[in-house]
Amino acid sequence: MYFIKISLFLSSLLLCIPQLKAQKNPSIRWEPGFSFTRKIDNRWSYNVSLMGRQRFTNYGEGEKNFKTDRWEIKGFGTYTLFGSKKISLGYMYRGYDPFEEETGYEHRITQQFAFLTNFGGYRLANKFRIEERIRNTDYLTRLRYSISTDFPFQGESLDEGEYYFITGNELVYAFNSKGDELENRFLVGVGKLFRKGQKFQLSLVSRNSDLISSARDHILQIESVYYFSL
């Protein structure tokens, strides 16, 4: 079992390498965040998260190398169905370029269906999302599907003070009256459970956008999130 876990960890890193080479100069970003989840009863729970994003590469002539790209606050209400299946409704407010002269905003409404499967020490998560994005410049609808797995490095259950590995992939299809876009996001990361309900996760995300057009863009994003739940 330990050999299988190490093999999966190394395979995920190897899968990430070709995407990192897809573009000579990918955009570099860091996205720190905090996420809080509270369980109301056996069926209902809610989540509130606060995220920011820093970018370290120029996006155009005259732009800063280091810049606060955005910040956002997000809330989700979730109802648990049978067999660990969950439906959620969420709202997010995002502010673009908050410290610049010209700023922007976005309101986002999200509908989500997710289910989790456990086998041995592995967890397999599937998520389907529909998003309506209302921005100060346009309106956009997105369809998202992600699949991910995580497991502890030691044993079949994650205990306090232990590390775990997570990897996954997501397809994002966006469209409006102006056209459509397809993006792929591959994630590999490591987390640590400090105590029950508290963990920290550090991930590397390789994002390849505009896959159905010739104007492709590659983003390399580091995500660091502290999760707290009651």
CA distance 125 to 148: 5
Q: What is the percentage of the chain residues whose pLDDT exceeds 70? A: 85
Look up residue 94 and give its two tokens.
């995002």
CA distance 95 to 97: 7
* Residue 14, amino acid: L
CATH number for the domain that contains residue 156: 2.40.128.130
Contact 190, 165 (CB under 8 A): yes
CB neighbours of residue 39 within 10 Å: 14
More confident of the two residues 212 and 159:
159
Domain hosting residue 21, numbered range: 2-229
CA 228 from chain centre, in angstroms, equals 17
At residue 1, the pLDDT reads 56
CA distance 45 to 88: 9
pLDDT at residue 200 above 90?
Answer: yes
More confident of the two residues 11 and 31:
31
At residue 215, the pLDDT reads 67
Our count of domains for the chain comes to: 1
pLDDT at residue 136 above 50?
Answer: yes
At residue 57, the pLDDT reads 78
pLDDT at residue 36 above 80?
Answer: yes
**In the 8-state DSSP scheme, what is residue 48?**
E
Helix residue spans in 26-174 (DSSP H): none
**What value does the mean pLDDT take over residues 53-75?**
82
* Residue 138, amino acid: D
> pTM (2 decimals)?
0.87
pLDDT at residue 102 above 70?
Answer: yes
**What value does the mean pLDDT take over residues 185-205?**
96
